[in-house]
Chain A
Amino acid sequence: RKEVEQDPGPFNVPEGATVAFNCTYSNSASQSFFWYRQDCRKEPKLLMSVYSSGNEDGRFTAQLNRASQYISLLIRDSKLSDSATYLCVVNRGGFKTIFGAGTRLFVKA
């Protein structure tokens, strides 16, 4: 079993839809959590950090559930430009950063 697992996707949604991705992690010592976005053949870029209290940035909402060891990303009012791969990232305290395999999202007009 991989230490960080994501919904494999792809998710195909129409513009304006709400879509949610989940990510589970197996190491309870994990301390920091992030969502990165990666466009096709481009480098990953930070989308948002995930805080224990949950956090929101415009149309994007991230949640952390430590008890169940998962994080989620909710995208509201999807845009064509949201089409990308979303990477879940878990850090075990400085020295170990682990990326999930990513979830591909296609938003269609």
Chain B
Amino acid sequence: EAEVAQSPRYKITEKSQAVAFWCDPISGHATLYWYRQILGQGPELLVQFQDESVVDDSQLPKDRFSAERLKGVDSTLKIQPAELGDSAMYLCASSLALGGTYEQYFGPGTRLTVT
């Protein structure tokens, strides 16, 4: 069964350092999402791509976060500089196409701890 791959699975970093997460969606999935999930809360959408284009990044803290999906396949989410409040699970998901009716498939996530 095809899966969404994410790496690393765990990351510990000191505040003010840079950190990057990688996601490889299911092959053929045009839409890719990055979410942040704080313990006890639901996932919060940070950025959404359709192929290589950003279609929604309204909740992305653009002063420190950036995301790219250069060839419309895999994607990188970067935080620079990291802050203590960034400690969370970062989830990547993909779906076949844009449109609210398509199921989103999630990767295992990257658990970030900022010290």
Contact = CB atoms under 8 A, between A and B. Distances in A.
B100 interface: yes
Interface string A60-101: 000000000000000000000000000100011111111111
How extensive is the interface on chain A, given as a class?
20 to 34
Interface of A: 4, 31-32, 34, 42-46, 49, 87, 91-102
Dominant secondary structure of chain B at its interface with chain A? loop
Interface of B: 33, 35, 40-45, 48, 55-56, 91, 98-101, 103-104, 106-109
A93 B100 contact: yes
29 contacts: A31-B100, A32-B100, A32-B101, A34-B103, A43-B106, A43-B108, A43-B109, A44-B43, A44-B91, A44-B106, A46-B103, A46-B104, A87-B42, A87-B43, A93-B100, A94-B98, A94-B100, A95-B55, A95-B56, A95-B98, A96-B56, A97-B33, A97-B48, A97-B100, A98-B45, A99-B42, A99-B44, A101-B40, A101-B42
